[in-house]
Each structure stands twice: as C-alpha cells, then as structure tokens.
C-alpha cells in the first residue's frame, strides 16, 4: 500500500512538474570510471535562462551567466560542458569521486527552478577469473570454486552448462555468492562453470571446466558362455569410468597380456575353457574393479538341439528342444537314407558365418533343415510356413522364436546361408 501510494505521488509530481512547467531531471544515473555521463532535464519550463548553475554538493561545476560559461574549479576543467539550450551537463573522464548529488539551478528574470540527480560511478569489472581445484577432482571429495575480478562488483551469478546454478544439498554459496562450495562432488557435477560479475555499467565472466573422476563402476563382460571347438569368441569388457580405465585380462587367474577392452580368440580349443576376468583400473581414482566370465568350449556339434538358446527354467524351451531334437533326427535320417554322399556345400558357409557367435549351433541346425527342406520342397523361414510335414513347423517356429528373443544375428546369418 505504502509503495503504491508513493508511486502514485511521484507520478502526480512528475505529471504536475511537466504540466506546470517544472524543471525535472532523471533521479539516478550510472557511470563508469573513465567514461562519460550526461545530465539532461526531462522537462524544462522556459526556453531561455539568464543564469544556469550546476552544482556538485556545495561546489559549482559549471555556470553560465547570460551565455558566458565559467568553470571555477580546476578539477572540472577540460571534462565538463554545458548546453545552454537544453541545460544538459556533460561530465567526462569520470572518477569515483564524481559519485554524488548534482543540482541544477536555472533562473529566468521572473523565477528560479531547481532539480536534482544522483550519479553513481562504478569501476568497470574486468579480469574475471575463477579459481577452482588445482588437482584432479575425484568423486566424493569436496571442491570449491571462487570468482574474482577487479572493479566494482555488485552482483555475482553462476551458471553450469548454461543453466543457472542454484544452491542445493551439496552446493553451498558464500554470503556474497563469490564462492561455491561443493561438499561431495558427484559425477553429475562435471561441466562448464561460468561466473559473471557485474555492476550497472559493465560485466565480465570466466569459465572453468570441472571434470569429476570416478569409477570404474559396473564392470561387465559381454560374450558367449559356450563356444564350439575351433570357433571364435569375443569378450567385451565395459566399465563406467572417468578417465577411461585400463583393462587387463586374466584366464584362470593367469595374466593373458591382453590390455584392450576386448579379448578375442580364434580357433578355440578345450584348453580355452575356464574363467576370464577383466580388471578395469582407473589411474586417477586409483581404483580397480573386476568382473569374471566363464567360457566352456564344447565339442563341435554338441551345442546342437537348442541347448544354447535355452533360458534357465524355461519349460517351453525344454519342450521346444525335445521337439527339435526329434525333428532333427528325423530329418537327418531322411537325409542320410536318401541323399548320403552328396557334398554338404552349405556347411562351409555356415562355419564362416557362424564363426564369431555362440549361436553357431543354430546355423548348423538351419543348414541341416535346409537340406532336409530342399529335398522335401517348400519352406518359408521368413514368413508363414507353408510346410505340411508334421513336426517341422514347430521346429521352425521354435528356432525363429529362440533367435528373435536372444540371438537375432543367427537369423541374419541364416538368410545368408539360404541364398
Ligand atoms: C566500461 O564498460 C562499458 C561497458 O562495457 C564500456 O562501454 C566502457 O567503455 C568502459 N569504460 C572504460 C573506461 O573502460
Ligand atoms: C582522466 O582522468 C585521469 C585522472 O583521473 C587522468 O590521468 C587522465 O589523463 C584523464 N584522461 C583524459 C582523457 O582526460
Ligand atoms: C572447500 O571449502 C570448505 C568450506 O569453506 C572447506 O571446508 C573445504 O576444505 C574446501 N575444500 C577444498 C578442496 O579446498
Ligand atoms: C546470491 O544469489 C542468489 C541467487 O542464486 C540471490 O538470490 C542472492 O540475492 C545473491 N546474494 C548476493 C549477496 O548477491
Ligand atoms: C581353467 O579353469 C577351469 C575351471 O576351474 C578348468 O576346468 C580348466 O581346466 C582350467 N584351464 C586351464 C588351461 O588351466
Ligand atoms: C593416467 O594415464 C594417462 C594415460 O593413460 C595419462 O595421460 C595420465 O597422465 C595418467 N594420470 C595419472 C594421474 O596418472
């Protein structure tokens, strides 16, 4: 209420001043050290004045008597001027000492008018610098950022990745906002910090990129758990870590000498069965984390029958496996009885295509099916089965289901085999 009343009064005064021919100046103005400012009346009641005087406190800055301008004080000589038509005072090469109240007195023959304005001079903000952690920042440690600059600093603002940074559970601002203290840095605190220091006439900013080092966490090995003899295997180790970790692989506890994130083996033998352990080491956090993976090398052909695609406890899978085995045996019997001795041209293709996956057994199955199907004619593996033979559609569906669920690459390989 009080504020509104005041605004109302001021509005009325300004309106009255303008309409009744009062002398009015802007109430406040800002300037920069070394810069210039002009005080110019918003309204002026007369066209000409006999005496125009600008004062700073008690001191006369500049005075005009019937057009004759004088600057009594030496500190203003060379840096002030008066426009006798508009009454405007220009003040150049400002210093901090120029901050204060300026009064304009303008006299006509009949009356005297007075107006006031307040100047605030700021030193331009320059050389903003963020001081951040000098060493490496490790997750869980504390980190402080502080911002400084020369000049008159009125406001301080922090941004992180171009978003306003606000106090939170672990981010505390100092009373003047010049320092930010992160009590326990998390990996999410990595980013580009910008501080902007400003005053009404200038601002400056600096950026600091903070990288939070962490990990390795969630070390995982991806790869098959079973492979046929003479097949090939790739195990891929991954970890959440900054910086990227160094990897080391052991086999049954013995160093393999492999220091990349992947370990590949071609032409595996039974002696490759065992436990593969990947250790990820972060040289900044000085932490290491390991993950292990068991690999079993099986005899060629022993992974047939859908064993590999069986998910633990999947009763449906067991049923499918049984059906498949029966169908396969039936197919092989038909094949060997009727077409024994024919070269298995597609088997080579299967081995090449299936070489890098543990789904190899599926390609073998498909190859077998293909021979079987070719000779019985009509099979559409990609779409609806037009097969009429008992047992075979179930087998086909089972395979398709198993591969779509777990090993889609097996199906791709299959279509290559079919060509
Ligand atoms: C102060 O900063 C303002 C705005 O950045 C600029 O226009 C002015 O030239 C600066 N003055 C001096 C004296 O550096
Ligand atoms: C501005 O003022 C400073 C001292 O306050 C003086 O050294 C400098 O020469 C002045 N510059 C100009 C352009 O008058
Ligand atoms: C950060 O500031 C807080 C409080 O000012 C202090 O306790 C802490 O030790 C500082 N941390 C670092 C890394 O300087
Ligand atoms: C510090 O910043 C907050 C906003 O983050 C603001 O509300 C507060 O007024 C600032 N304090 C000072 C002293 O500038
Ligand atoms: C590796 O360990 C597994 C399991 O203990 C064992 O069966 C296998 O023989 C070992 N292989 C080698 C080469 O030591
Ligand atoms: C960590 O290792 C990288 C190279 O892998 C090296 O550039 C960096 O200086 C190392 N850092 C530390 C703290 O040892």
pLDDT at 340 (0 to 100):
54
Ligand 3 probe mutation, 138, 144, 182, 183, most atoms within 8 A of CB: 144
> How confident is the model at residue 332, as a pLDDT?
65
Please determine, for residue 7, whether its predicted confidence score (pLDDT) is greater than 70. no
Which CATH number is 114's domain given? Answer: 2.60.40.10
> Do 114 and 147 have their domain in common?
no
Residues 64 and 154 both lie in one domain: no
Q: How far is the CA of 93 from the centre of ligand 2 (A)?
A: 6
Ligand 4 site residues (CB inside 6 A) read: 155-156, 166, 173, 176-177
Q: What is the mean pLDDT of residues 337-357?
A: 42
Ligand 3 close to Cβ of residue 142 (< 6 A): yes
**% of the chain surpassing 90 pLDDT:** 66
Q: Over 80: is that where the pLDDT of 388 sits?
A: no
Query: CB of 394 within 8 A of CB of 325?
Result: no
Domain boundary among 70, 94, 122: 122
Q: Over the stretch 270-290, which tens digit does the pLDDT of each residue have?
A: 999 999 999 999 999 999 999
Task: Find the length of the chain.
Answer: 419
Same domain membership, residue 21 and residue 111: yes
Residue 225 falls within a domain, yes or no?
yes
Domain boundary among 122, 142, 177: 122
What's the rounded mean pLDDT across residues 314-337?
62
Query: Which residues touch 243 (CB under 8 Å, ≥6 apart)?
Result: 213, 282, 283, 284
How large is the average pLDDT for residues 292-313? 73
Examine residue 304 and state whether it is found in any structural domain, yes or no: no
pLDDT (average), residues 239-252: 98
Instruction: Quickly count: other Cβ atoms within 10 Å of residue 140's Cβ.
Output: 11
- Of all protein residues, whose CA lies closest to atom 6 belonging to ligand 6? 283
Residue 358: inside a domain: yes
Question: Ligand nearest 30 Cα, by number?
Answer: 1
What's residue 213's pLDDT?
Answer: 98
pLDDT digits (tens, 9 = 90+) for 58-67: 999 999 999 9
> According to the model, what pLDDT value does residue 275 have?
98
pLDDT digits (tens, 9 = 90+) for 396-414: 333 333 333 333 332 222 2
Q: Which has more pLDDT, 131 or 1?
A: 131
- Its pTM surpasses 0.95: no
7 assigned to some structural domain = no
Per-residue confidence at 239, pLDDT binned at 50, 70, 90? very high
Domain membership of residue 54 (yes or no) is: yes
Tell me: do 25 and 111 sit in the same domain: yes
Domain check: are 373 and 399 in the same one? yes
Q: Does residue 133 form part of some domain? A: yes
Strands 100-107 and 202-210: unpaired
Distance CA 97, CA 409 (A): 80
Say whether both 73 and 137 belong to one domain. no
Establish if 1 belongs to a structural domain.
no
Residues 102 and 135 in one domain: no
The predicted-structure confidence for 128-175, as pLDDT tens digits, reads as follows: 999 999 999 999 999 999 999 999 999 999 999 999 999 999 999 999
Domain match, 189 and 230 both: no
Provide the residue range defining the domain that includes 26: 17-122
Number of structural domains found in the chain: 4
> Do 357 and 280 belong together in one domain?
no
Task: Decide if 344 is inside a domain.
Answer: no
Averaged pLDDT for residues 232-255:
97
Nearest CA, atom 1, ligand 6: 283
Q: How confident is the model at residue 20 (pLDDT cuts 50, 70, 90)?
A: low
C-alpha 36/C-alpha 79 separation (Å) is 9
Instruction: Write down the pLDDT at residue 241.
Output: 98
Nearest-angstrom CA–CA distance, 38 and 354? 84
Q: What digits encode the pLDDT tens for the residues 39-78?
A: 999 999 988 899 999 999 999 999 999 999 999 999 999 9
Single out the residue in 122, 143, 173 at which a domain terminates. Answer: 122
Q: What is the 3-state secondary structure (H, E, C) of the chain?
A: CHHHHHHHHHHHHHHHHHHHCCCECCCEEEEECCCCEEECCCECCCCCCCEEEEEECCEEEEEEECCEEECCCHHHCCCEEECCCCCCEEECCCCHHHCEEEEEEEECCCCEEEEEEEEEEECCCEEEEEECCCCCEECCCCEEEEEEEECCCCEEEEEECCEECCCCCCEEECCCCCEEEECCCCHHHCEEEEEEEEECCEEEEEEEEECEEEEEEEEEEECCCEEECCCCEEEEEEEEEECCCEEEEEECCEECCCCCCEEEECCCCHHHCEEEEEEEEECCCCEEEEEEEEEEEECCCCCCCCCCCCCCCCHHHHHHHHHHHHHHHHHHHHHHHHHCCCCCHHHHHHHHHCCCCCCHHHHHHHHHHHHHHHHHCCCCCCCCCCCCCCCHHHHHHHHHHHHHHCCHHHHHHHHHHHC
Specify the higher pLDDT residue, 194 or 5. Answer: 194
Mean pLDDT for the stretch of residues 17-45: 89
Cβ partners under 8 Å of residue 278, min gap 6: 219, 221, 235, 237, 247, 248, 249, 261, 263, 290, 291, 292, 293
Region 323-347: mean pLDDT is: 58
The verdict on 191 and 229 lying in the same domain is: no
Say if residue 227 is in the same domain as residue 289. yes
Judgement on whether residues 29 and 113 belong to the same structural domain of the protein: yes
């Amino acid at each position: 209420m009080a504020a509104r009343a005041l605004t109302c009064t001021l509005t009325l005064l300004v309106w009255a001043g303008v309409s009744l021919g009062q002398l009015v100046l802007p109430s406040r103005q800002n300037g920069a050290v070394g810069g210039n400012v002009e005080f110019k009346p918003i309204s002026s009641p007369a066209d000409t004045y006999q005496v125009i005087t600008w004062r700073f406190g008690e001191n006369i800055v500049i005075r005009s008597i019937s057009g004759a301008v004088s600057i009594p004080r030496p500190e203003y000589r060379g840096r002030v001027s008066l426009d006798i038509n508009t009454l405007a005072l220009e003040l150049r090469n400002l210093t901090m000492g120029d901050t204060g109240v300026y009064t304009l007195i303008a006299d006509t023959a009949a009356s005297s008018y007075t107006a006031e304005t307040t100047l605030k001079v700021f030193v331009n903000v320059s050389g903003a610098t963020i001081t951040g952690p000098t060493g490496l920042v490790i997750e869980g440690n504390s980190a402080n950022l502080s911002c400084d600059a020369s000049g008159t600093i009125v406001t301080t603002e922090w941004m992180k990745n171009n978003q306003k940074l606000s106090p939170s559970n672990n981010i505390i601002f100092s009373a003047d906002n010049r320092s930010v203290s992160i009590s326990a840095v998390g990996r999410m605190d990595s980013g580009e910090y910008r501080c902007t220091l400003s005053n009404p006439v200038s601002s400056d900013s600096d950026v600091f990129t903070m990288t939070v080092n962490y990990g390795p966490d969630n070390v995982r090995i991806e790869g098959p758990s079973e492979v046929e003899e003479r097949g090939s295997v790739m195990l891929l180790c991954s970890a959440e870590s900054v910086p990227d970790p160094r990897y080391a692989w052991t086999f049954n506890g013995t160093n393999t000498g492999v220091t990349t994130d992947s370990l590949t083996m071609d032409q595996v033998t039974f002696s490759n069965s065992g436990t593969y352990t990947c250790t990820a080491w972060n040289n900044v956090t000085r932490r290491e984390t390991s993950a292990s993976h068991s690999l079993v090398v099986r005899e060629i052909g022993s992974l047939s029958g859908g064993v590999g695609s069986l998910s633990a406890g999947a009763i449906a899978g067991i049923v499918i496996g049984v059906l498949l085995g029966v169908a396969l045996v039936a197919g092989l019997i038909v094949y060997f009885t009727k077409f024994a001795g024919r070269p298995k041209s597609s088997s080579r293709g299967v081995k090449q295509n299936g070489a890098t996956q543990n789904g190899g057994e599926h390609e073998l199955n498909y190859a077998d099916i293909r021979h079987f199907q070719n000779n019985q004619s009509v099979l559409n593996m990609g779409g609806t089965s037009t097969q009429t033979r008992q047992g075979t559609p179930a087998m086909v569906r089972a395979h398709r289901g198993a591969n779509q669920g777990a090993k889609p690459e097996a199906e791709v390989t299959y279509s290559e085999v079919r060509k």
